[in-house]
Structure 1
Amino acid sequence: MNYALIDAATSPAIVHAIRSHAGRAHARALFERQPEAANVHAGPWLLRLDGEPGLQGLIQSQEGCAGAVARLRAEVEMEELFLHLEAQLDLRLTNGSLALLRFWDGRALNRLWRVLTPLQQRKFMGPVTYWSYRLEERNIELHRPIMEGS
């Protein structure tokens, strides 16, 4: 299935556009059950693109903004992918505190990906088999690492 992560902070009207094109079955705010819930208007949204042609145009209109859109492929339903991505939001620091991991922003993910081990990359990707985003006018593609014995 084809999905997108879109950073609502890049456009003030994007949440209204998302809600007008898709119901809850096709769009979920990753912050909706988090301490950051008051900021869903400026946070990441997971969109299921299959069966929603209006969302394709919306995504294409935002892809020119740096870090605004990531395209994902996963062979799981929306709820399972949502739960996996939601679980990736918090990063425990060495001092025990939590930090928000901005993985939906390609600029942050690009830096993170380079320091993760293949095992960490696989865990981060979970059910996602393909992840792409634009960075400095290039398409960056990430594929879930295949581990020996898997």
Structure 2
Amino acid sequence: MRQHKTSKDKRATYIYYTEDGHKTILVPGKDGVTEADIHTLHEFDDAEYRQHRRETEKHRSIEAAIEENAEQFPSSFNLEAAALQNIENANLHEAINSLLPQQKALIHKVFFEGCSLESIAREEGVSGQAIGNRLKKIIDKLQKVLK
């Protein structure tokens, strides 16, 4: 996974390393490599870098989203504890797959994108309470499937 972007002053060529650690430098005009090829390879790397950042940010925001929306959950249900206990459990995957597409989207927005209930409500043109009620119904459904 790409950890950083190549700086602008180093984008005239493209460097990559094989699995055995061999360094290869691609140079425009050599071995049929064009400037467009170099540009495309750097764009692929940039996309990989952006994806890595999104994934990292997503993981950081899960805990914040849980804390921010904790008051919406019944006290008997601790989503963080359930997620940790069931992260490798096929039943959780199956339970989530039993949801309707719009229910999956809401779960994704709240727990993976870190969106607040209010921001989702504004986006959908409904009240925050309506989104909270939807989320509670989804969680109740997941609880029943997981029991």
Length-normalised TM-score, structure 1: 0.26
Q: Which has the higher Rg, Structure 1 or Structure 2?
A: 2
Task: Return the structure number with greater relative CO, CA threshold 8 A, min gap 6.
Answer: 1
More strand by share: 1
